[in-house]
Chain A
Amino acid sequence: MGVVIEQELGTVHGDEMILNIGPQHPSTHGVLRLKVHTDGEIVTKITPYIGYLHRCFEKHCENLTYEQATPYTDRCDYIGSMNNNFGYAVAVEQLMETKVPEKVEYMRVIVAEMNRIASHLLALGTFGLDVGAFTPFLYCFRDRERILDLFEMLCGARLLYNYIWIGGVSHDFPVGWVEKTYEFLDYFEPKINEYNDLLTYNKIFIERSADVGVIPVDVAISYGVTGPNLRGSGVRWDLRKDDPYGIYDRFEFDIPIGTGAMGSVGDCWDRYYVRVRELEECIKIIRQALDALPRDGDVHAALPKKIRPKAGHVYSRTESPRGDLGYYIASDGSDTPTRIKMRSPAFTALSCLNEISRGWMISDVIAILGSLDIVLGEIDR
């Protein structure tokens, strides 16, 4: 282990190497710098450095009106932007105490769940890429492209939608969109079996990810980890069931949790598998919503002329693909907010990286980072 030198600064291990997984790196999911202290190949400490993508979102919002802030919320978690819009709209509507029409609620659920599928596909694909499987990455992206095409038909944009507005949505579904979505769901369901064959039950993949990077339940809760990461550790906590917003209480779906099928509870394989199972649950929800969607109704009925909430503050949270997305909005009665704070789930997921990757090798650190599914846009805002 090398010579241990006692100094006033503490003990310094003689063999330790400090390695920099730098901001420019093929697999850091954004611009993230990790300072890794290693002993040979075993990691002893990791310090993440963030802030490379900080765009002062919260400061900007102090000078914008409420509807102008919606495109800004898109850009925080750019992979699941419908969910960001949704969370923001729910928060402001809570502050203004308005209710949206039924049709709008169903539409919001449909697009949010489709965006969740797209986000999970990206998470699965990049996790496979991090462990070295190049092909499932492209298959996931091919299916993600179809979702993005559907969104393009709906609101013109592929990634940053600005679709879910405060008080409603920006456009009604175009003619034929619902049928195309049904077609997509029928096409996509068998593909999950393809991903399972290619990656999930692949022996090499299981060796790489089972038992690696276990997040024990107490560590997860104390760091504030939520979403599929928490569910991978066996805690059945999903805001759509435990604190429902919108009309989520009308749908029947399961919450998949990690059971340690291939190793310990809470390892990388569990988190990955929770995401795969969630794909199936999302398909269920979308089908139920499409079946129950009211065909006529004005989606712009509840759009307020002027968004001027009463003075006060609200904290509301929704379930984004990465976990508990929270918005704290403080208003003083004018049409610009005083303070918007976004609680980002990936931030807490990244914060527990040091704790869970001690004692693993560098390749495992990359695998753990991939399984946590972080998006730097959300962490840095």
Chain B
Amino acid sequence: MKITIGHMFKIKRGNVTLQYPVERWPRPERHIGFSEDSYNVIRSRLTVDMDDCIGCLKCERACPVDCIKIVTEKVEKGKDIPEANHRGITSHGTQKRLLVTRFDIDMTECCYCNLCTYPCPEECIFMVGGPNSSKREIDYEFSEYDRGDMVYRFAKVPPYVLQEYVDTEDDQKEEVT
């Protein structure tokens, strides 16, 4: 009985809950006393830097739940296509050969295992925040009202650009889009 009454009077020191809307995680001084920067890896929202994506499909193959869908088209090596936001060279210096016309990640299927981030040669797919805070701030509040909004479409290629690069025999790919 002494224990519970002792806890009652020491509540200011002992409180372990966060008042959510006002106090949000990550809080620098949370019991263990480390900040988000010392994280090895973080599991939050997946995001893709399309400037760096070379369309190698390694992340699609690594995903255990098949939530990533990528469709690519061949283009000239190293050429910029500004209408499609396609830079010919990644930030690591690789020249791109493929235009990614469809890069969908279904966040409702994603199991947040992080297996897709390891094989990427250009480090363009990553989870925001933590060690990647320099690229993107942390974001774990990404709920939507509509289930369709949870499918993140990263490749934004306008249809008129698509027409130039898609071969006519690959017409069935357009239905997929």
Contacts and interface: CB of A to CB of B under 8 A. Distances in A.
A touching B, CB within 8 angstroms: yes
A174 B3 contact: no
B30 interface: yes
Interface stretch (B36-44, B75-83, B147-155, B163-171): B36-44
Nearest to B127: A156
Interface in A24-71: 64, 67-71
Nearest to A173: B40
A64 B111 CA distance: 15
A145 B30 CA distance: 11
A154 interface: yes
Contacts of B41: 155-156, 170-171
Contacts of A175: 38
A238 B96 CA distance: 55
Interface in B1-50: 3-4, 16, 30-34, 38-43
Contacts, number: 73
Contact of B115 (A156, A162, A176, A197): A162
B176 interface: no
A174 B115 contact: no
A197 B38 contact: no
Interface string B108-138: 0001111100100000000100100000000
B130 A156 contact: yes
B114 A162 contact: yes
Nearest to B112: A157
A68 B62 contact: yes
B40 A154 contact: yes
A142 interface: yes
Given A67-B115, A68-B64, A71-B64, A180 B32 contact: yes
Nearest to A157: B43
Contacts of B127: 156
A127 interface: no
A190 to B, nearest CB: 12
Nearest to A195: B3
A197 B6 CA distance: 13
A45 to B, nearest CB: 39
A327 interface: no
Interface residues of A, number: 36
Interface string A59-93: 00000100111111011000000000000000000
Contact of B40 (A72, A142, A172): A172
Contacts of A156: 39-43, 114, 127, 130
A369 B127 CA distance: 40
A153 B3 contact: no
B39 A153 contact: yes
Nearest to A202: B1
A198 B6 CA distance: 12
A152 interface: yes
B9 to A, nearest CB: 15
B34 A180 contact: yes
Interface string A145-181: 1100110111111001010000000111111100010
B32 A184 contact: yes
A175 to B, nearest CB: 7
A67 B34 CA distance: 31
A142 B30 CA distance: 13
A293 to B, nearest CB: 16
Given A184-B32, A194-B3, A68 B115 contact: yes
Contact of B4 (A74, A135, A173): A135
Contacts of B40: 153-156, 171-174
A338 to B, nearest CB: 18
A253 B7 CA distance: 33
Given A69-B64, A71-B113, A146-B31, 15 more contacts: A67-B115, A68-B63, A72-B64, A74-B113, A145-B16, A146-B32, A149-B30, A149-B32, A153-B34, A157-B112, A170-B114, A174-B38, A175-B38, A176-B34, A180-B32
Return the 10 tightest CB-CB contacts between A and B, nearest first.
A71-B113, A68-B64, A156-B41, A156-B43, A171-B40, A156-B42, A162-B113, A174-B40, A157-B43, A142-B16
15 contacts: A69-B64, A71-B64, A71-B113, A74-B113, A75-B111, A149-B32, A150-B32, A153-B40, A155-B41, A156-B39, A156-B114, A162-B115, A176-B34, A184-B32, A198-B3
